[in-house]
Structure 1
Amino acid sequence: MQYLRLSIFLIFPLFLFSQDFSNQWTGHYSYFEINDIYAAEDRVYAASENSVFIFDAETRTSETFSTINGLSGETISSIYHSSTYDITVVGYDNGLLELILDDEVRTFIDIVDQPTIPPTEKRINHFFENDDKLYISTEFGIVEFNLERIEFGDTFFIGPGGSQINVTGTIVAENSIYATTLNNGIFSADVTNPNLVDFNQWANPIPGSFRDIVIFNNQILVHQNLDLVQSLENNVLTTVFTAPSSIRDMYADSGNLTISLVDRALVLDTNFSETASITSTTEDSFELNTSLTINNEVYLGTNTRGLLELELSNPNTKTLVSPEGPLSNFTFGIEALNNNLWVVFGQYDVNFNPFPLQRRGISKLTVDGWFNISRDEVLGATSLSHITINPNNEDQVFISSLSSGLIEVNNNEVTNLFNDVNSGFESFVPDDSNFVFLNGSVFDNEGNLWVNNSRVDDGLKRFSPGATQTFNVDLSGLVSNPLGNLGFSDTVIDRDGNLFIGGWNSGVIGYNPNTENQIQLSGEAEGSNIPSDYVLALEIDRNNQLWIGTFRGIRVLFNPSGVFQQSNPQASQIIILDDEGVPQELLFDETITDIEADGSNNKWVATASSGVFYFSPDGQETLAHFTTDNSPLPTNNVRDISVDDSTGSVFFATEKGLLEFKGTATGPESNLDNVVAFPNPVRPGFNGRVTIRGLTSRANVKITDIEGNLVYEEVSEGGSIQWDTTAFGRHKVASGVYLILVTGEDQGETTVSKLLVVR
């Protein structure tokens, strides 16, 4: 009875109603890598890496589902739609099952949580619907799911002795159920047999390795030996078609069999004659994952070009029908400024190793949508990792490569690639331009771009746009073995023009361009108080304080300019009180990947394993903590953050997608003409903070009741402040009209606004 005990673990479903985050979040997922597609009526259901879209061929519109709507963000392996029950079913590599019904996502974790199945063998391979049952083919067996009752049924472990085997597909035909397996051949049984949980009820007459099974023109078709399509009848296989190369996928509709190869889609009629071949060419190349034909239209699910639509009668004209988005979900570096967001998809590991080199292009988000610069337009550059927008000319952008040098983009077009051949940037491997390791860069007040250059003596370069050569700063006195310092990360500049660089084992290096003095904060320097010499992130906040993110915690340098006059400069810990009043270090032992200050000087801190923290300006108060459990973040490893001061939006780059949080903290304005408070009115039940924005830098904000009693006062550090609607933190203010009096720093400009509070 062991097989019976194993089979009932899915009878009692463990499902969750997923949360919708669309009020505060926007998902900027990529739909250029298509893992699976399915067609029903006039709609194509497409699964990208970790999100789904439904393309309506009649209306030419798409509806998307992602972590914003409640999907998990894990890697999708299969998709299916039941027209009978109007349910879209999504299967994942890790065994997760999610259903989209009535625009609501339900998540089933039964397979994921099953301890008797190895975690690497839970992948969902295929769906097949028969009557009210959905047969789910997995790497361990077959699982029944009742679509009418929305619950799991039996599980069939059909391998020898009831063992777990990789089932690649399941179909039902003429009261028989057939299952193809990767290594154990084809199995069949009477689908009406009430005891299919008994492996002895399954026959295994045909050995071999089979990757797919479909019903086409009343025939059962399978493919094995990579390139053979065979008909199965009376347990006999007959070859009906031999593909020119390995078959990736087969899809059957009423009149067409569509076969996907890596470089082409073949459309066969009911006589297995080829009626169309859509082939990748040098001029029009694609890598195909899956394809299908419906209503005389062919849809190609490609690996990098999205979902392409074409007519059978005109296979040379392709239309992209994927929703717009960035080129890839593997977002690595981002930079936002004035409603524009630039995105790159470079890659290097914890040891600053970019190999194997990736060439993924550049993406840009504007108010009009996404604009993409393809991989073929970046002059051969790879591992694009860091973006700096020229503050004096926002149409000019410089992108560092941890391999190829520095890219210049003008008016959305890549115009130059500066490397060791045509500029002062250096390769640490002689005569090889694949080793020009540039990363963090920043503009100074004179319009010069300072860039760090890893693994060479002159580790800091001053580059003047329009020129080619560089002014070099020799850092070998602080980094005695440049080749041993595997890479530099960030570069920032303070109000006085001092440069600070973080690196792999160099701690923080400071450089004063006026005096050419250099300093270093590292674990080797006694009393420097740096928890790790591996510094990944630096940020100069609105109070000119240097925040330092390391491999093992966070530190602050309160007077960065003053360290050049100190013999032993020291960074400070941030000590907070936990819930029990015990002092502890903020983010102790956390790997900090980025730090950004928003318009209110609050700090956004990204980590490698704990999501994103949002702190007050001094770090003493945690305003929010976003993880995969309470937000649409698809992973807790967040690589980069960028804040758009003009809108308050905060962008998070992860290896599984790009997310936008609708923040409220904006940068300082030049005048007080647009001061506004929201929400206004404050309605009963509101427990958040009122945001007052449109402020100038260092503006004084006073809030009084209608009788003139002061209830709040603060000096802005950016373009906005937030009020918790209490009287100096003591108690909630009463219902009434409140006056917001704002005075500029020089007291030459004032404005008054009104705020209604209703309790």
Structure 2
Amino acid sequence: MQYFKVIVFIIFPIILSAQDFTNQWTGHFSYNEINDLYASENKVYAASENAVFIYDSDTKTTEQFSTIQGLSGETISAIYHSTVFDITVIGYDNGLIELLIDDQVRTFIDIVEKATIPPIQKRINHFYENQDILFIATEFGIVEFNLSRIEFGDTFFVGPGGSQINITGITISNELIYASTIGNGILSASENSTNLVDFNQWSTEVIGNFNGITSFGDQVLVWQDNTTIKSLENNTLTTVITAPSAIQDMQATSESLLITTADRAIHYDSNLQETNAVQSTDANSFNLNTSTLLGETIYLGTENNGLLEVANTLTPVTISPEGPLLNTIFGLEAFNDNLWVVFGEYDINYNPFPLQQQGISKLTANGWTNISKDDVLGVTSLTHITINPANEEQVFISSYQDGLLEINDNLVTNLYNTNNSGFETLVSEQDVIRLNGSTFDNNGNLWINNSRVDNGLKRFSPESGEVLSVDTSSLIRGLNLGFSDTVIDANGNVFFGGYSTGVIGYNSQTEELIQLYGEAERSNLPDDYVLALEVDLNNQLWIGTFQGLRVVFNPTTLFQGGTPQTNQIIILDDEGVPQELLFNETITDIEADGSNNKWVATASSGVFYFSSDGQETLAHFTQDNSPLPTNNIRDISVDDSTGSVYFGTDKGLLEYKGTATGPENNLNNVVAFPNPVRPGFSGDVTIRGLTSRANVKITDIEGNLVYEEISEGGSIQWDTTAFGRHRVASGVYLILVTAEDQAETTVSKLLIVR
């Protein structure tokens, strides 16, 4: 029966060729946490959380691989490079195996799909190459992979009675295959055995728990307990190294042994004499996961400082690619080619514990700038970002525990709490100030919600620091665990959502409060847990709830008496049956782009891109058809100046090269691209630089009209057809643009070559 299980691996290999998304997507992954390293020839192969980079020590350059190049985005547990076959092998926590061959990703899901192995027992622990076979140590046993044929071989279940046991490492010495295990000691079998699938071929050398094993010269070294390295000979263990603290990793070359602890990497010669050590200091502080050796240079894989190179000077130099501090993205805000990122969290019940003090990241055209967690005034749970549109160097970041953080020119300058502002604490005589969604009005005031207090809405003046409080206690229903988003419509009305409060609206002129709450008999909300709000370019209020989507077509009418109502968006499915758009979906964010189309993030179905009225699905991105590493999208931000759309997840940050930009103040910069349209091009032509509601007409050189549209934002797309009927012929086409007030016009030319 054991043999039959192996045959399935051989006859039915499950190989997937990954798609490359570099044309339209950019990955902004963090490379600060290094899980595993492997050095070979002049290169270091580094595995971060869910991406890989290869560092060339000769050219001092790095090559990155992430979901953009086709990696899965899952958590990486091991990496190895075969110099014989020039193949990089990546192993994952979930049992996935991916190969980099000629910079192409090939994915093997055999272990992931193996129903007889528990999902929590498929982790890839270690790789060991012998001739053309790569032995894979897993939490259930040993798997062979043939590197010359690029296919799986046998699987060895070597526990008692052929059971599944946790294999932590594999090595070969003196024609014996050794396997270290957790709970089942050190096992060995003849390298020349033709029946290693038979568990009876495996003998127990010694009992105990072992975290790894390696061959070093003529010795077999095992890593036992937390601090000891022992030599195995004739079923006997002899301690040869006692580390100063818990060992994290052990790697050997032909003449050197490198032991990694949390605060140092220790180098030993062929006689196991310590020759060198690189240790964390106050000046160069780090926590290590792993280390490796390339020539005389030590490479340190840290928990949060990336990959460090330590050469003769013994001064660590960071060589990881640029990126944000972390992959656990929680909040985004893009404006004028600047992107701010925060990593604070709260759970579905708005619980921010355990509190975490994280830093802040900023992306510009010049790359990444990171504000360390040590430079945020001790503030925890940073969740929401608002850039001052009148001064983009002034940024306010909400903390869902400590108040409001102010940043000026990339430096944290102020923290507003109960000591210096009117923000309120939910715990008497303590600063427990839970602020979240915020937005600026036309007068330069910041409106922000303050959770779990009676005065749940605040107006903050950045100039004076004064805070105006709005009492919302009469509208709090059920559990008031927290508030989410805050938006302002074109008439200055403020709206914010919450855990069980639906949507609360406030008219700052009349000081009137309204509430969208309850199902059909009240406001027709699918759920009173509102996570996302957006006021689009047509001044419509879009509402994302825990169980669906609603729209208010004219928010001003909500303050005109009666029971305020929301509207469903009804679409026709593929069979012509009316359906509610995003029925029962948990919507985490909604953003309108420069064309007033809607980007909608969900907790389990990825990202949807809808037409301005929601009737047409323009795109639907998931982890199956895009580089998104997960279908749980936490936040979206659209940069109207470039059209780029950023997606924040708990597994990384992705950028989609969109074409919809915000409206311009004039028509001085109208441009069409691509121009010319060359043979074989099948996409849309984007016309950018438009004012709001500009009239765009496209004619052939003889003046025949082939297209006309009123822009909703700063750009439109033309599919190069004559009103959708047929593709236009080769030739020069005129683009005539007239501003809404007809006071300004411009003409551009577009060449199409079929």
Same fold flag (TM > 0.5): yes
- What pairs with 1:595-634 in structure 2 (closer than 5 Å)? 595-634=590-629
Tell me the amino acid that sits aligned with residue 240 of structure 1: V
Alignment check: 8 A CA contact 1:287 1:304 kept: yes
Does the C-alpha gap of structure 1 residues 77 and 206 become closer, same or farther in structure 2, counting only changes over 3 Å?
same
For 1:25 and 1:394, the matched residues in 2 are separated by 26
The equivalent residue for 2:644 is 649
Contact 2:447-2:460 within 8 A present in 1 as well: yes
1:684, CA displacement in angstroms? 4.1
Where do 1:485-564 residues align within 5 Å?
A: 485-523=480-518, 526-564=521-559
Counterparts of 1:721-732 in structure 2 under 5 Å? Answer: 721-732=716-727
Look up the match of 1:457. 454
- Per the TM alignment, residue 685 of structure 1 is displaced from its structure 2 partner at its CA by 4.1
1:112 aligns with 2:112: yes
What amino acid does structure 2 have at the position aligned with 1:3?
Answer: Q
In structure 1, the partner of 2:740 is 745
Which of 573, 582, 588 lines up with 1:593 in the alignment? 588
Provide the rounded CA distance (Å) in 1 between the counterparts of 2:420 and 2:316. 39
User: How many angstroms apart in 2 are the aligned matches of 1:81 and 1:37?
Assistant: 10
Per the TM alignment, residue 729 of structure 1 is displaced from its structure 2 partner at its CA by 3.0
Kindly provide the amino acid, as one letter, of the partner of residue 91 in structure 2. G
Q: Hey, what does 2:302 align to over in structure 1?
A: 302
The one-letter code matched in structure 1 to 2:400 is: L
State the distance in 1 between where 2:462 and 2:435 align.
16
Residue in 1 that maps onto 2:421: 423
Q: Deviations over 1:300-326 (max 9, x none)?
A: 111111111112x433x1100100100
* Aligned mates of 2:579, 2:679 — CA distance in 1: 37
**Correspondence list, 1:329-478, <5 A:** 329-433=327-431, 435-478=432-475
CA–CA separation in structure 1 for the residues paired with 2:60 and 2:172: 33
Task: Give me the whole-angstrom Cα distance separating, in 2, the residues matched to 1:567 and 1:462.
Answer: 27
* C-alpha distance in structure 1 between counterparts of 2:634 and 2:595, whole Å: 22
In the TM superposition, residue 495 of structure 1 has moved relative to its aligned partner by 1.2
Question: In 1, are the aligned partners of 2:516 and 2:522 still within 8 Å (CA)?
Answer: no
Q: Is the 8 A contact 1:253 1:294 kept in 2?
A: no
Residue matched to 1:3: 2
Alignment TM-score, normalising by the size of structure 1 = 0.97
Structure 1 counterpart of 2:733, one-letter code: Y
Question: Contact between 2:545 and 2:587, CA under 8 Å: does it hold in 1?
Answer: yes
Letter in 2 for 1:696: T
Residues 376-385 or 696-705, more deviating: 696-705
Task: Report the residue type matching 1:566 in the other structure.
Answer: G
Contact 1:221 1:232 in 2 (8 A): yes
Bigger drift between 63-72 and 172-181 goes to: 172-181
**Does the 8 Å contact 1:538/1:548 carry over to 2?**
yes
SS in 1 for 2:316: strand
Q: Which residue of 1 aligns with 2:143?
A: 143
After superposition, where does 1:665-744 map in structure 2 within 5 Å? 665-744=660-739
Show structure 2 runs of 5+ residues with no match.
Answer: none
Distance 2:116 2:702 in 1: 70
Amino acid at match of 1:47: A
Q: Equivalents in 2 of 1:553, 1:413: separation in Å?
A: 39
Cα distance in structure 1, aligned partners of 2:258 and 2:624: 40
Q: 1:237, CA displacement in angstroms?
A: 1.1
Matches of 1:576 and 1:566 in 2, distance apart? 30
| Counterpart residue identity of residue 458, structure 1 | N
Paired residue secondary structure (1:11): helix
1:550-576 alpha-carbon deviations (Å, 9 max, x no partner): 111111111112211132111111111
Alignment of 1:102-181 (within 5 A): 102-181=102-181
Flag structure 1 segments of 5+ consecutive residues without an equivalent: none
CA distance in 2, matches of 1:607, 1:248: 38
Scaled by the length of structure 2, the TM-score of the pair is: 0.98
Deviation at 1:417, TM superposition (A): 1.1
Cα root mean square deviation, aligned: 1.3
Structure 2: how far apart are the matches of 1:83 and 1:22? 27
Rounded Cα–Cα distance in structure 1 between residues aligned with 2:85 and 2:507: 68
8 Å Cα contact 2:641/2:662 also seen in 1: yes
User: What is the CA distance between 1:421 and its match in structure 2?
Assistant: 2.3
**Which whole-Å CA distance do the structure 2 matches of 1:467 and 1:299 have between them?**
51
| Number of equivalences | 753
Residues 14-59 of structure 1: CA distance to partner in whole angstroms, max 9, x if unpaired? 1111100000000000000000000001111000000000011111
Q: Which moved more, 1:516-525 or 1:17-26?
A: 516-525
Amino acid of the structure 2 residue aligned with 1:668 = P
Is the CA contact 1:525–1:568 (under 8 Å) kept in the aligned structure 2? no
Alpha carbons 1:740, 1:752 under 8 Å: kept: yes
Structure 2 counterpart of 1:262: 262
- Does the 8 Å contact 1:144/1:155 carry over to 2? yes
1:602-629 Cα distance to aligned partner (Å, 9 max, x none) = 1000000000000110010100000011
Displacement of 1:270 after TM fit?
Answer: 2.4
Contact 1:157 1:199 in 2 (8 A): yes
The residue identity in structure 1 corresponding to 2:275 is: T
Tell me by how many angstroms 1:739 deviates.
1.9
Q: Compute the displacement of 1:282 (Å).
A: 4.1
- Secondary structure of the residue aligned to 1:161 is helix
Is the 2:247–2:261 contact (alpha carbons within 8 Å) kept by the matching residues of 1? yes
Tell me, yes or no, if the aligned pair for 2:519 and 2:525 is still in contact at 8 Å.
no
Q: 1:640·1:652 contact (CA, 8 Å) conserved in 2?
A: yes
> Deviation digits for residues 457-499 of structure 1, max 9, x if unmatched?
0111111113333111111111156xx3111000001111110
* Contact 1:140 1:164 (C-alpha < 8 Å) held by counterparts: yes
Query: Residue in 2 aligned with 1:314?
Result: 313
Please report how far the alpha carbon of residue 726 of structure 1 lies from its aligned counterpart in structure 2 after TM superposition: 2.9
Cα deviation, residue 756, structure 1: 3.0
In 2: Cα distance, 1:337 partner to 1:39 partner: 41
Bigger mean CA deviation after superposition, 547-556 or 2-11? 2-11
Q: 1:736: Cα distance to partner? A: 3.4
Preserved contact between residue 289 and residue 301 of structure 2 (Cα < 8 Å): yes
Deviation at 1:283, TM superposition (A): 4.3
* Kept in 2: contact 1:498–1:513 (CA 8 A): yes
Cα distance in 2 between the residues matched to 1:647 and 1:318? 37
Q: CA deviation at 1:365?
A: 0.4
Distance 2:496 2:220 in 1: 64
Deviation for aligned residue 1:525? 7.9
Map of 1:23 onto structure 2: 23
Cα distance in 2 between the residues matched to 1:45 and 1:233: 32
* SS of alignment partner, residue 473 of structure 2: coil
Name the SS for the 1:477 alignment partner.
helix
Counterpart-to-counterpart distance in 1, 2:235 and 2:293: 29
Residue 245 of structure 1: how far off its partner (Å): 2.1
Q: Classify the secondary structure of the residue corresponding to 2:4.
A: helix
